[in-house]
Structure 1
Amino acid sequence: MNFSPRTHISPSRTVAVNSLALEKRLAGERVYNLSAGEPMIGTPAVISRAAMDAIDAGKTHYESVSGIPALRDAVSTWMNTTYGSHFSRTQTLVTAGGKHGVSLLVDAMLIPGDEALIVAPYWVSYVSQVEMAGATPVVIPTAEKDGWKVTPADIDAHCTAQTKLLILNNGSNPAGVLYTTQELQAILDMAAQHDIVVISDEVYSGLVYDGVDYISCASFADHVSRVIVVQSMSKHFAMTGWRVGFVFADEQIIRVLCTLQGQTTSGASTISQWAALAGLQHADDIVPVHRAQMQARRDVFCQRFGEAFGHALPPAGSGLYQFIPLTAFGIVETDADAFCTRVLAEANVAMVPGEAFGVGGYVRCSFGETEEELKDAIEALHAYLVK
């Protein structure tokens, strides 16, 4: 059977590694899963109760394709209050997760021949989503010595007449990069110079550590017309499986996305949307607790890793991951893909190779697991590698 060229993409490496780890667990093996892209904490009870209440009340039917009005009101207010944006309900779309939001955007805004700038290390799905839209991903490399940050000069050097988008992951997966106000201003100024739209993926904005304030691209009034923000309930509200995300943009863009969504998913799960509304109504009680939990787990991971391998990891500024060079493990290998495959097969520790994020010689380790699981995983790694 012949399939569309759109299917000629690589499977998500993070999903593949996590699935293999889960399969080994189902087979009865003790697996230490440092590959999962989620905080391993339960969804808050107030959110789960709201879902059950919605079911009991019969709120299980189709809703507006753009999302329940009360949820769009609540999330736009939350964005504006928390991050200094100025979005309204009509500038807000509810999607089936942040990933679907990005997918809708590239489908709506790119045509064959267009180019989209993607900063490496990048979240694994960006490249494939651009390719599925028939466009060309243009990867901008960065370096650990520069904090994995893209600069205006980098953007300028990679722009062509075909460049239409810059996808910027602030609070990045896998490197935990956070941009300052000055850095974002300069990036947005350069985007304006080349007349390109910026998709700002901000799904880790609630998991920012060490007392640092998160700066949203939507807070820059002089660039509001070219900034599109993607958000999600998954990470900082611990709702990964509920599949609720958001796109904030100009009303014209939201209308186009709504048309696409109406012909694909018809919208996010109604029950999940009512649950998300409850989460937003209790955000001040939920997000700080989750942030503190994840920071504590990050600190445990970095401390135990340093003790085991004698290498001090710079703690991630945000997110759920440490992006670690293979040299930190005291080994001379450079092929992270082969390293991760071997370690999962022989030591039952699951990590994601840096090649999946566009950077070889590194691995991504999630600190989203419990503190005990993190300690056990590092002990298992040390026992296997330091023989």
Structure 2
Amino acid sequence: MNIKTHLQLEPSVTMEINASVLKKRTQGQHVYNLCAGEPMIDTPDVVKRAVMTALENNHTHYPPMAGLLELRHAASEWMNNDYGADFEVSNCAVTPGGKFGLFLLLKSLLKSGDEILTPAPYWVSYPSIAKLFGSVPVIIDTDENDDWKLDVKELEGSITKKTKILLLNNASNPTGVLYTREELKEILDVAKRHNIIVISDEVYSGLVYDGEFVSCGSFEEHRDHTFIVQSCSKQFAMTGLRVGFVFGSEEIISTVINLLGQTISGVTTISQYAALAGFKHRNDIAPLVRSEMKKRRDVFVNTFNKLFSSKISYPASALYCFIPMSAFGVEGQDSVEFCKDVLNNTNVAMVPGIAFGKEGYIRCAFGENEEELKEGLEKIKDYLETR
């Protein structure tokens, strides 16, 4: 039996590229990593000290399946105070990163044959996770000229009797788009009218540079059919510690907790203490991470616009610029081949747009330090001028 065919699972394009990057680095090559989806800055000392203290205090045993009660309280309070939600501790489960939180939510909600709507460009793992449960991803195309935003008429036209879930990414990976309160209300109204569950992936809410982030959890009239996926990874610069959250109705969160018990027996205890320290000091940590990422965003965009004749705009949020290949002066080559070509000849790693459901674009991350960003873009420019 072909296990990939059986599971309907293909490897993530981003993971394939990261593997190529790792291979080059193990060979002693310097690689400019414009594909890594994380802030490449040190985890704050207060978070690291919390890990050490947890070890010294022997907090190394099995955790509660739902997560440390104090952490669930801190996460719920954060969502309520910062984003206008109204979650109790019973509405929150701690998960090993936002990705597995999404996995558990979809497992709790979907059955074989259900359709799950998501706008493209989408985060690479959305369709693959849905397929694991025998569900059908239905992709709703969006356009750069409309700021990559989901049109409610297109949404209504994509709904069938089999539609179960709308999966929304706000703030967006890969485009950095933010939805306004009015736009979200329209989308949520459509979903409620058709009895559709909305899952809002909001893991980049802490990395908003322009405009205002609005959480789907802040709409009181829609809380009965809305779930939120969140994470400590980006906002506290602790991606490797793997702490995320899901928020929603107590009934479904209870199912998520049961799944945690039957799969991983809870999130690593010392990581939860690290996350708790992050929340206790979030008013110090989060602004510093956001400020540093904004500086790197500006350096990346300004450098690109100096080197290339086509200009790109500043993404409002997240860690990425989603760039048309034409801005690089490239025509007649698909995004996968272009990224492989650039990586093989310049050691600059990027992610092809087709991984996000949109051919003709490239995703460049600006999480690296400023010199890496500048030199990486300069190497691409030099190569394209000579090839």
- TM-score interval for Structure 1 and Structure 2 normalised by the shorter chain: over 0.9
Partner residue, 2:382: 383
Letter of the 1:298 counterpart:
R
Contact 1:6 1:134 in 2 (8 A): no
Letter of the 1:386 counterpart:
E
Partner residue, 2:42: 42
Q: CA deviation at 1:196?
A: 0.3
TM-score (ref. length: structure 1) = 0.98
Structure 2: distance between partners of 1:234 and 1:2: 34
Aligned residues: 386
Contact 2:73 2:88 in 1 (8 A): yes
Structure 2: distance between partners of 1:235 and 1:365: 17
Partner residue, 1:206: 206
For 1:49-98, what per-residue CA distance to the aligned partner results, in whole angstroms no more than 9, with x for missing partners?
Answer: 00110000000100110000000011100111100000011110000000
Letter of the 2:243 counterpart:
V
**Secondary structure at the counterpart of residue 29 of structure 2:** coil
For 1:316-374, what per-residue CA distance to the aligned partner results, in whole angstroms no more than 9, with x for missing partners?
Answer: 11000000000000121340111001111111110000000000000000000001110
Partner residue, 2:248: 249
Q: CA deviation at 1:5?
A: 4.8
Contact 1:95 1:246 in 2 (8 A): yes
Partner residue, 2:366: 367
Structure 2: distance between partners of 1:4 and 1:330: 37
Structure 2: distance between partners of 1:282 and 1:337: 41
Q: CA deviation at 1:6?
A: 4.8
Structure 2: distance between partners of 1:32 and 1:346: 12
Equivalent runs, 1:110-259 vs 2, <5 Å: 110-210=110-210, 212-259=211-258
Contact 2:175 2:315 in 1 (8 A): yes
Structure 2: distance between partners of 1:31 and 1:156: 44
**Secondary structure at the counterpart of residue 322 of structure 2:** strand
For 1:3-44, what per-residue CA distance to the aligned partner results, in whole angstroms no more than 9, with x for missing partners?
Answer: 375533110111111121121011111211101010100110
**Secondary structure at the counterpart of residue 3 of structure 2:** coil
Letter of the 2:216 counterpart:
C
Structure 1: distance between partners of 2:4 and 2:340: 30
Structure 2: distance between partners of 1:164 and 1:157: 14
Contact 1:92 1:248 in 2 (8 A): yes
For 1:259-313, what per-residue CA distance to the aligned partner results, in whole angstroms no more than 9, with x for missing partners?
Answer: 1111111111111000000000000001111111111100000000011112221
Structure 2: distance between partners of 1:336 and 1:255: 42
Q: 1:225 to 1:186 in 2, by over 3 A?
A: same
Contact 1:326 1:333 in 2 (8 A): no
Structure 2: distance between partners of 1:224 and 1:131: 26
Structure 1: distance between partners of 2:163 and 2:8: 23
Which contiguous aligned blocks of 4+ residues in structure 1 show a shift greater than 4 angstroms? none
**Secondary structure at the counterpart of residue 323 of structure 1:** strand
Deviates more, 1:50-59 or 1:333-342: 333-342
Structure 1: distance between partners of 2:267 and 2:143: 37
**Secondary structure at the counterpart of residue 386 of structure 1:** helix
Letter of the 1:339 counterpart:
F
**Secondary structure at the counterpart of residue 25 of structure 1:** helix
Structure 1: distance between partners of 2:71 and 2:5: 37
Letter of the 2:385 counterpart:
V
Letter of the 1:343 counterpart:
V
Identity %: 51
Query: Where in structure 1 are there 5+ consecutive unaligned residues?
Result: none
**Secondary structure at the counterpart of residue 15 of structure 1:** helix
Letter of the 1:80 counterpart:
N
Letter of the 1:277 counterpart:
L
Contact 1:68 1:273 in 2 (8 A): yes
Structure 2: distance between partners of 1:217 and 1:24: 41
Structure 2: distance between partners of 1:386 and 1:225: 55
Deviates more, 1:308-317 or 1:92-101: 308-317
Letter of the 1:245 counterpart:
G
For 1:234-254, what per-residue CA distance to the aligned partner results, in whole angstroms no more than 9, with x for missing partners?
Answer: 111111100000000110011
Equivalent runs, 1:312-327 vs 2, <5 Å: 312-327=311-326
Equivalent runs, 1:216-365 vs 2, <5 Å: 216-365=215-364
Contact 2:4 2:10 in 1 (8 A): no
Q: CA deviation at 1:152?
A: 1.2
Letter of the 1:22 counterpart:
L
Partner residue, 1:77: 77
Equivalent runs, 1:62-101 vs 2, <5 Å: 62-101=62-101
Letter of the 1:116 counterpart:
I
Contact 2:8 2:128 in 1 (8 A): no
Partner residue, 1:13: 13
Letter of the 2:303 counterpart:
R
**Secondary structure at the counterpart of residue 263 of structure 1:** helix
**Secondary structure at the counterpart of residue 177 of structure 1:** coil
Structure 1: distance between partners of 2:4 and 2:364: 34
**Secondary structure at the counterpart of residue 266 of structure 1:** coil
Structure 1: distance between partners of 2:293 and 2:28: 28
